[in-house]
Chain A
Amino acid sequence: MTIYLRSGGKLRDQLKPDVDEYTRRVEVDGDLTLKEILTTLGIPLAFVAFAFTDGMLRRLDYKPSDGETITLQPPVSGG
């Protein structure tokens, strides 16, 4: 199935967008969790603070569905 990963901030360096400046199209086997997808792509989990879709924050055990866009945000702590 196809999912789309949108990246914010410094995560763009890791995700290497290809659809537009922010989004990468990814072909994955169905029934994979976000954690498994990110691991497959070689993106360290430490670089992802938040993942959300449909206005809901998702944990890394979330299983995206075909055609879904997941937004990924990096951890930041500056003040």
Chain B
Amino acid sequence: MPGWGQKGQERLAGARVFLAGVGGLGCAAGVYLATAGVGRMDVCDADAVERSNLNRQFLYTPRDVGRPKAELARDRLAALNPSIEVSALVTEIDHATAPELIAGADIVLDCLDNLETRFALNRACIAARVPMVYAAAADWTGYLSFLKPPETPCLECFVTRTPPPVEPAIPGCTPGTLGALQAMEALKYLTGIGNVFAGKLLVMDGAEPRFDVVAVDRDPSCAACSKLKAK
């Protein structure tokens, strides 16, 4: 494939990815990153597998219910590609823990399931100047963007409103699609191939079906990133 080759493979082998959450998004993203040969992956999730996860979190089986997702994901991703290193972090991500958790990562994938934790991860990525690939999904709807302020907006520039307390059910193919796209963004960034969704938001409405790509500007008054100046 043009641009990949031995050099691209070596870049991936030397890369380190932080996977924040191994639910529906993280299972899909993790599989494609592992099989592509990303040399080191840190998978972080404080939750245990629940039966209701199994329609979309395909790294787990009914026998895994009650066991920590991060440890299971580590074992199964490492089994897919024994030449990579995968570590499991069974811990919560918050404003206190996020900076240390992502330290050393070349890129962070936001595969989380709530806005509060996303904002903590966003702040840590801004401080560390590490790019973050945002995605979120519910029912047939999904969003994705590549965030690397000050070159792009950060998450708090354009995501402000929290979803209703009860989100709709989610078929596995929705986070699976978005998670695969997150992996694609990471692989492009790490190999230097093509262009990422920088300054752009992908809006997927799978029910209609419709995919829109819209331009997103930085918010000059953003509490998280407005002090960063573009080069």
**Is there an interface contact between B201 and A76, defined as CB atoms closer than 8 Å?**
no
Q: How far is the CA of A71 from the CA of B204 in the complex (A)?
A: 12
Task: Please encode chain A, from 64 to 79, with 1 for each CB lying within 8 Å of some chain B CB and 0 for all others.
Answer: 0000000101111111
User: Hey, which chain A residues are within 8 Å of B207, CB to CB?
Assistant: 9
**Is there an interface contact between A49 and B159, defined as CB atoms closer than 8 Å?**
yes
**Is there an interface contact between B163 and A77, defined as CB atoms closer than 8 Å?**
yes
Q: Interface size of B by Cβ–Cβ distance < 8 Å? A: 43
Of residues 165 to 215 in B, which have CB atoms within 8 Å of A's CB atoms?
167-168, 170, 175, 201, 203, 205, 207-208, 210, 212-215
Q: Is A1 an interface residue (CB 8 A)?
A: no
Q: Is B140 an interface residue (CB 8 A)?
A: yes
**Is there an interface contact between B138 and A76, defined as CB atoms closer than 8 Å?**
yes
Q: How far is the CA of A46 from the CA of B142 in the complex (A)?
A: 17
Q: Is A22 an interface residue (CB 8 A)?
A: yes
Task: Please encode chain A, from 1 to 26, with 1 for each CB lying within 8 Å of some chain B CB and 0 for all others.
Answer: 00000001110000000000110000
Q: How far is the CA of A77 from the CA of B166 in the complex (A)?
A: 11
Residue ID in chain A nearest B141 by CB atoms: A9
Q: How far is the CA of A73 from the CA of B21 in the complex (A)?
A: 24
User: Hey, which chain A residues are within 8 Å of B201, CB to CB?
Assistant: 50, 57
Closest chain-A Cβ to B46's Cβ sits at a distance in Å of 13
Chain B residues packing against A (C-beta within 8 Å):
21, 23-26, 111-115, 118, 135-143, 158-164, 167-168, 170, 175, 201, 203, 205, 207-208, 210, 212-217
Chain A residues packing against B (C-beta within 8 Å):
8-10, 21-22, 45-50, 52, 55-57, 71, 73-79
